[in-house]
Amino acid sequence: SAVGCTLCILCMTTERVFYSKTSQSRSYRYSISTWAKSMKKQTVLLVAAGGAAAAFVLYTYYTSKSRAAVIPTVIPNDANIYVLEGGGLEVHISAFGATITKLYAPDRDGKKDDIVLGFESLEPYTEGKSPYFGCIVGRVANRIANALFSLDGKEYNLKANNGPNTLHGGLVGWDKVWWDAEYVDHPEGKALRLTYTSPDGEEGFPGTVRATVTYRLTTSGVSSRMSMGSRGNELPPEQPSLVTEMEATTDQATPISMAQHTYWNLGGHHSGTVLDHVLRLVATAYTPVDANLIPTGEIIPTAGTPFDFANRHKIGALIRSTGDADTYGYDHNYVLSAPKKSKGSNGTRLAASVFEPITGRAMDVLTDAPGVQFYTGNFLDGSIEGKNGVQYEKHAGFCLETQGFPNAINNARFPNVVVRPGETYRHTIVHRFYTR
């Protein structure tokens, strides 16, 4: 550094001043006149070095202030965990399943807590004990009916892992594989890029697919109108956000629909159920499902049903009206409006806003995907021991999985999920955090 260089110059100057030029050893033979004469010669050099050091310190300070995410100074114990920090957020990501294992965010008093469900170590993930906590799911998120589809006149039989259906890519989906991970530079700081190559025939799907997921933290470029009863006012221009960007290419026609499957609890992962969280979904229609949670193919308005979150209310307000005593809960795809692309825009629009009244934490979800699966952890039953020994009970977390429609490969009415050679699948999600 410039400071170090300055110290080195000072030491070299001192050595030249205090030691005799004729002596090969440090004999301390010097005089006052020699010292004064030498110091005069070194003054310009010292002033210049000091100026350079000051300039370097100022440069470092201002550039660090402008970056939203940096590689942390504290490295996790597990070498397969990567960390991004910035804007008051701290995100831990595993290369296994490209999984978000922890996310720390401040409450209205500035106290940070981990607001995602998950495990303390990687073993439960790698041993298949995770109900998709925090991971990237693919090659096709959600369900494909009867583990079967036809494409270009050919029938493909997939691995069934959810009754008769294929769920989140099959028995070994992208949540259960190791991704290559590396920190990469971004104009707003460091990002984490993960890549995975899915071979032709994996879980029955055609084509070799190269998938990329990039996580980064930012405080710019994601502003939109606040949706939680703000009377139309704008959020402050800089809100810390987690941006997730997914891309995939293929050498054969194949369905691709990736999703990020984090279970959120804005009160803290240990705080109990999310039924008192207040939710708004920017959607006025949903796709109803049959007994196997496969969409019937209809698109039905939510108005007047327990599925209506167009006007914000507590998640638990109408949840028991969604089913009987054993099956109630939300696990439905909501139809989002088409994103409005404009110059300089990433094409995302607001999909959902959530508020937790005790801590004051709030989160907006923006995306360019056509749908969002709202899931309330209906299959959690207290048998899973998560971080800090917490037993995750029913409704301990919620998911907002932005996605293509479930079973879209078998329903021509739904938005297309087929990607062909030469095309690039893209999917962006922004999780924006603030307090109220």
Active site residues: 261, 401
Residue 59's SS3 state is: helix
The alpha helices in 72-191, defined as continuous H runs, are 123-126
Using alpha carbons, select from 242, 203, 250, 194 the residue that is nearest to residue 221.
Answer: 242
Residue 226 tokens read as: 């606040």
* Residue written as token pair 């100074």: 73
* CA 433 – CA 222 distance, rounded (Å): 11
Burial string for 356-389 (b: 16+ CB within 10 Å, else e) reads beebebbbbbbbbbbbbbbbbbbebeeebebbee
Residue 353's Cβ-count burial label (10 Å; 0-12, 13-18, 19+) is buried
**What secondary structure does DSSP assign to 346-393, as a single string?**
-S-EEEEEEE-TTT-EEEEEEESSSEEEEE--TT--S-EE-GGG-EE-
How far is 218 from 392, CA to CA, in rounded Å?
30
User: Backbone phi, then psi, for 48, in 5-degree steps?
Assistant: -65, -45
Is the Cβ–Cβ distance between 321 and 306 less than 8 Å?
A: yes
Q: Which residues of 14-26 are buried (b: 16+ CB within 10 A; e: fewer)?
A: eeebebeeeeeee
Q: Are 244 and 291 in contact (CB under 8 A)?
A: no
